[in-house]
Structure 1
Amino acid sequence: MPSVLLDGDAVPASGELPASAREGLGDRPFGFYVHVPFCVTRCGYCDFNTYTATELGPGASRADYAETAIEEVRLARRVLGDAELPVETVFFGGGTPTLLPPGDLARILRAIGEEFGLAPGAEVTTEANPESVDPAYLEGLLAGGFTRVSFGMQSAREHVLTVLDRRHTAGRPAEAVREAHAAGFAHVNLDLIYSTPGEDDDDWRASLAAAIEAGPDHVSAYSLIVEEGTRLAARIRRGELPMPDDDVAADRYLIADAMLAEAGFSWYEVSNWATSEEARCRHNLLYWTGGDWWGVGPGAHGHVGGTRWWNVKHPAAYASRLATGSSPGHAREVLSEEDRRMERLMLELRLDSGFPLAEIAPSARTAVAQALGNGLLATGPFASGRAVLTLKGRLLADALIRDLT
């Protein structure tokens, strides 16, 4: 057989973590990410670790997935020992988690609670395609302990959804939001994508207006990234569609920020807006502020105390490992203190709270001064000890972060 490159160190069959990862365990926020790798069809822009029924092959099935995921939850408890780790956030992503029955999702959540305990007021989110749920399904989620739902809307224009290979109709996301509220969900997110080939400014404004009118308390908006190996990349390479333009993306971002602000949303991360502190996604904030989390599922990533690992990708290989009592971990890396500092800067500078000036390397002070002079960093918060992006800085966040690292 050909060798398999790990791109990291091997994970022990037991899943045991290095001693350094266990230092301070329980002092940092702790959460779970649960990856559900199933989709009805593959969207043309998507390069996530997902599988349609025809791609799945033998050795794995939706019907068995909940029990397999629960086995990894039990493994996590063995690996992390007796440390008190009340789970503050749980996020089910994919794929399409809501292709599983709500009872299966609730069983996985219940296992997390039984093994670790859920913190009072824990945030529990699932992603959902708008067409994959109905009122009864949403009521089942709420009864099963979920507190938040995130719908993939992407656009309100049919021709844009067609380019993205999305299957829902343009009005379905708004209906899904109303159904979620009627079921009792207080917190609902809509995901949007801008700069899709064929989308113009009026299309984007219409999508934002439809999202706002639907009544979510959180909106995420991301510029389309053309990933190699996707159908969208192939269509662009053949000249069927134009490559998204960076200047157009910047204009669309400014439109989004203005319309969302007028509707009462405040940005708290470069691509995320919420109507209140309570509406912010606490699970994502756990990622962005250096918390610990265990990633359950094929291809899922976890992080505890500076050790990061990722699972084998295929659901059959994942199930096979767990069936023999072995960790599904494929490889891992232990971050150095400098790696962790740089990662913190990359993530925290994208937040409205910014990054501590004292922790920016002296070698980057010239870049800091230039960013101030160019209006990319706010002077007030910066003077009080933190570097905070301005609106102009948010447009250039990736380049600025590179300069500061």
Structure 2
Amino acid sequence: MRATGHTEGVTSTAPAPTSGPAAADDSAAPVLRDFGGGPFGIYIHVPFCATRCGYCDFNTYTAGELGSSSSPQSWFEALRGELATAAQEFDALPTSTPAVETVFVGGGTPSLLGGDGLAGVLDAIRDNFTLAPGAEVTTESNPESTSPEFFERLRAAGYTRISLGMQSAAQHVLKILDRTHTPGRAVAAAREARAAGFDHVNLDLIYGTPGETDADLDASLDAVLSAGVDHVSAYSLIVEDGTALARRVRRGELPAPDDDVLAARYERIDSRLAAAGLHWYEVSNWSASDAGRCRHNLGYWDGGDWLGAGPGAHSHVGGVRWWNVKHPARYADQVATGGLPAAGWEALTDEERYTERVMLTVRLRTGLPLDDLDADGRAAAAKVVADGLAEIVADRLFLTDRGRLLADGVVRTLLT
């Protein structure tokens, strides 16, 4: 079981770019075909963080790392330019641009922009695209950079969903992760969001951090359940190459996460959440109702289209995928020259699209239609069923409880 040790809904939720014969010249702008017919969402990447967490390998920068090369204001002006350019590019496609079903502002730490800054982001989207009636609009937030007034401003601006990075209720675990918030602040922030009128609030957990005990996990789950949220994301800690955490593990200062411990922790999380009425709908995500599910992430998992705006963000429209330049200063410079600020792009082959369909859909509670599998895939499905990792009901393949623990292995078998 592999998940990212970061907050919900960031660009890594989407498939990573692949190289191959369909990949285009990295210096060229993406050549778009048309929309794919699925839901259309917009992801906004805010690259700023107050401090760098030791486990994080995402495209984020502290003020000290950026110096005078970039600022929230220069980022915002570039973002407005990218959104306007993307809208023009989409208007040239054969079909009209769909209404935006979901917006997700992630990072980084979007809450560092403040309520007015995040309201401005949503206004910039509205200036260039049409929000569908009942659109889901989410922002990630660090508990320490929120307040009752912050949530009230977001609610008035049109945000409908809040995702808070809690990670753990144990102070020593937060310290190992280099998280700056106090253990009780995430729960307090969740309650403040609900008091401001947000029906949909997510709390993120990371489990398997070196030094975390079963009692620490239970305390975290107790805190989550006391907050009254309708959504929980729980990710096993992954020690990513190039991070401060990876260096500490390599030097022997911290042990690497243990797979057996991670499996036991996952089972504990699932049991506690299910007993409280939050049920899994994707391997690492639980909700109290269908309405509480993250529609934006479901758009990724179901093969929808999305525009990713901001430094390093990834986009996908009709089988064409592109990814932006990473550094905020270079991103702003490239937006200023006109055109999309792409670092590279690729047109997905049928084989690549098949791989991603299997890889993402099998993780969903709704299962993978057998008709989506080729002959080899259907034969492999029989094997994972025989191994007790999945079951077939009404021509769909569903992971068993044990299969969820070994979801990556199931995917590898289906694609072998």
CA–CA separation in structure 1 for the residues paired with 2:381 and 2:359: 14
TM-score (norm 1): 0.94
Deviation at 1:182, TM superposition (A): 1.0
1:385 is the counterpart of 2:395? yes
Q: Which residue of 2 aligns with 1:41?
A: 51
Matched residues, percent identical?
A: 57
More relative contact order, 1 or 2 (CA 8 Å, 6+ apart): 2
The answer as to whether partners of 1:12 and 1:327 remain within 8 angstroms in 2 is: no
CA contact (8 A) 1:26 1:85 kept: no
Shift of 1:269: 0.1
Cα deviation code 1:45-88 (max 9, x no counterpart): 00000000011133311123222211111011011016131000
Matched residue type, 2:25: A
- Partner Cα separation in structure 2 for residue 256 and residue 208 of structure 1: 7
Task: Give 1:16 deviation, angstroms.
Answer: 5.0
Deviations 1:175-229 (A, max 9, x none): 0011101111111000000000000111111111111111110000000000011
* Partner amino acid, structure 1, of 2:186: P
Does 2:412 align with 1:371? no
Distance in structure 1 (CA, Å) of the matches to 2:47 and 2:97? 30
Asked if residue 76 in structure 1 is aligned to residue 76 in structure 2, the reply is no
1:154 partner letter: Q
Question: Which digits, 9 at most, give the CA deviation of each residue in 1:292-347, with x for residues without a partner?
Answer: 00000000000001111100000000000112223210001111112111101100
Instruction: Pick closer, same or farther for the CA change 1:324–1:304 going to 2, 3 Å.
Output: same
Name the residue aligned to 1:192. 205
8 A Cα contact 1:26 1:84, kept in partner: no
Give the aligned partner of residue 273 of structure 2. 260
User: Could you list the runs of 5+ residues in structure 1 that have no partner in the other structure?
Assistant: 1-5
Q: Match of 1:3?
A: none
Are 2:36 and 2:317, in contact at CA under 8 Å, matched by a contact in 1?
no
3-state SS of paired residue (1:193): strand
Is residue 2:193 matched to residue 1:183? no
Whether the aligned pair in 1 keeps the contact of 2:30 and 2:322 (CA below 8 Å) is no
> 2: CA distance between counterparts of 1:399 and 1:104?
42
Post-superposition CA distance 1:10-41 (Å, at most 9, x none) = 3676x4533xx31xx27321010000000000
Q: Quick check: 1:17–1:79 contact (8 Å CA) kept in 2?
A: no
Residue of structure 1 in register with 2:25 after alignment: 10
1:207 aligns with 2:220: yes
Q: Which residue of 1 aligns with 2:11?
A: none
Is the CA contact (8 Å cut-off) linking 1:10 and 1:330 kept in structure 2? no
Measure, in 1, the Cα distance between the counterparts of 2:149 and 2:289.
28
2:80 aligned with 1:85:
no
The aligned amino acid for 2:369 is P
Residue pairs, 1:6-405, within 5 angstroms: 8-10=23-25, 15=29, 17-18=31-32, 21-22=33-34, 25=35, 27-81=37-91, 83-378=96-391, 382-405=392-415
Change (3 A) 1:129 1:324: same
